[in-house]
A and B are shown apart, each in its own frame.
Chain A
Amino acid sequence: AQSVTQLDSQVPVFEEAPVELRCNYSSSVSVYLFWYVQYPNQGLQLLLKYLSGSTLVESINGFEAEFNKSQTSFHLRKPSVHISDTAEYFCAVSAYQGGSEKLVFGKGTKLTVNP
């Protein structure tokens, strides 16, 4: 069975500082990896995903994540954060089983960007 561990439940940073949100997964099969962002009282939005190929994937708003198979990690990074990046971030791993893709989510990391 797949599982996801997000090592930090809360990460406070100052505006324009770099940030890394950590994610480790466990799986016995090849996986797809995702990062989602959730703003207060909203649904989750897909931020970026790794399917295959280049291990570094980027989002349109400056986030990037690197797939590291040997360390079973998929950490999310941004070199300079903005106030508007304040949100909760979820890492997820998928497996295609029984005719359906199932996503298993971590418990989330609340990123707070302070001025």
Chain B
Amino acid sequence: SQTIHQWPATLVQPVGSPLSLECTVEGTSNPNLYWYRQAAGRGLQLLFYSVGIGQISSEVPQNLSASRPQDRQFILSSKKLLLSDSGFYLCAWTTGEGYGYTFGSGTRLTVV
């Protein structure tokens, strides 16, 4: 069966520290992968998406970056976190048009 794993579930990091969030998908190949951020009252904001290994598209300029080193692995990173990076980060995947997304369980990031 197809599953998506996202970790860690919660993370508290000081301002200026680095960040690495990982997402992996099982049971499918060549998925489209996405990173979303959910902030209170602001809905879901698409941060990055990837249609293949090494192919990353950024939707908004920000303090974050993404990488896809393997077909089913998607990583969200930052060199130096800002307070404004706090939020709930969701990874998602899809295999094609009209299927919608399958979401991971999310990472609650608090920058202090």
Mark A residues whose CB is within 8 Å of B. Answer: 9, 32, 34, 36, 41-46, 49, 51, 90, 92, 94, 96, 98-108
Please, which residue of chain A has its CB at the minimum distance from the CB of B9?
Answer: A41
CB distance from B105 to the nearest CB of A (A): 5
Please, which residue of chain B has its CB at the minimum distance from the CB of A45?
Answer: B103
B110 CB-CB contact with A under 8 Å:
no
CB distance from A8 to the nearest CB of B (A): 13
Mark B residues whose CB is within 8 Å of A. Answer: 6, 32, 41-44, 46, 49, 51, 57, 88, 90, 92, 94, 96-106, 108
Q: Do residues A101 and B32 form an inter-chain contact, with CB atoms below 8 A?
A: yes
Q: What residues on B are CB-neighbors of A90 within 8 Å? A: 43-44
| Total number of residue pairs linking A and B with CB closer than 8 Å | 63
A92 to B43, CA, bound (A): 11
Q: Do residues A100 and B103 form an inter-chain contact, with CB atoms below 8 A?
A: no
A6 to B102, CA, bound (A): 21
User: Assuming the A-B contacts A102-B49, A105-B43, are A43 and B105 also in contact, with contact meaning beta carbons closer than 8 angstroms in the complex?
Assistant: yes
Other A-B contacts than A90-B44, A100-B51, A105-B44, 12 sampled, CB-CB below 8 A, are: A36-B103, A42-B106, A43-B105, A44-B92, A46-B101, A49-B100, A51-B98, A94-B98, A94-B100, A101-B97, A103-B46, A108-B43
Q: What residues on B are CB-neighbors of A92 within 8 Å? A: 100
- Contact of B42 (CB < 8 Å), options: A36, A94, A100, A107: A107
